[in-house]
Amino acid sequence: MNYLTYSGNNIISVALPDDAAIFYAPERLTGIAKRDVPAAVRRAFREPVGMEPLDKLLDAKSRVLIAFDDNCQPFPQTAKPDIRQQSLEVLLPMLYEIGVRKENIQLICAVALHRKMKKHELARMVGPAIMREFYPQQLFNFDAEDHDNIATLEDTEQGETVQVDKRVLECDLVIYVDTVQIPLNGGHKSVAVGLGTYDSIASHHHPKMTAETPHVMQPEGSCMHDCIERISRVISKHARIMVMEAAMNNGTYPAHVRYLGKRPQDCNAFERLMRASTPLSMKLLPEPVRKVILRSVPGDYAPVEVNAGSIDAVHERTIDVMTRQMTVEAPKQYDTLVFGLPDLSPYSVGARINPVLVVSDVLGYVFNWFYNKPLVKKGGVVILMNPCFEVFHPEYHVAYERFYDEVLGATSDPFAMHHEHQERFARDPDLIDAYRHRFAHHGFHPFTVWYWATYALKYLADVILVGPPDDRASKKLGVSWSPNIQHALDRAKESSGGSSVAALTIPPFFYFQVGR
Q: Which of 366, 406, 400 is nearest to 509 (CA)?
A: 366
CATH architecture of 2-26+331-514: Alpha-Beta Complex (3.90)
Q: Which of the 8 DSSP states describes residue 149?
A: G
Q: How many CB atoms lie within 10 A of CB 472?
A: 13
Q: What angle do CA 194, 195, 199 make, to 5 degrees?
A: 100
List the chain domain ranges: 2-26+331-514, 34-248
Do residues 164 and 195 touch, judged by C-beta distance below 8 A? yes
What Cα–Cα distance (Å) separates residue 93 from each residue in 48, 97, 100, 105, 165? 17, 6, 10, 12, 25
Specify burial of residue 490 (Cβ count, 10 A radius: 0-12, 13-18, 19+): exposed
Does the pLDDT of residue 194 top 90, yes or no? Answer: yes
pLDDT of residue 84: 97
Task: Supply the CATH classification number for the domain 34-248.
Answer: 3.40.50.11440
Going by C-alpha positions, the residue among 84, 59, 46, 92 that lies closest to residue 308 is 46
Percent of the chain with pLDDT over 70: 100
**Over residues 43-53, mean pLDDT:** 97
Q: What is the pLDDT of residues 350-392, one digit of tens each?
A: 999 999 999 999 999 999 999 999 999 999 999 999 999 999 9
pLDDT band at 214 (very low <50, low <70, confident <90, very high): confident
Q: What's the pLDDT score for residue 63?
A: 98
Distance CA 225, CA 184 (A): 9
Taking the C-alpha atoms of residue 283 and residue 435, their distance in angstroms, rounded to an integer, is 38
DSSP-derived pairing of the beta strands 501-504 and 10-15: unpaired
Tens digit of each residue's pLDDT (9 = 90 or more) over 494-504:
999 999 999 99
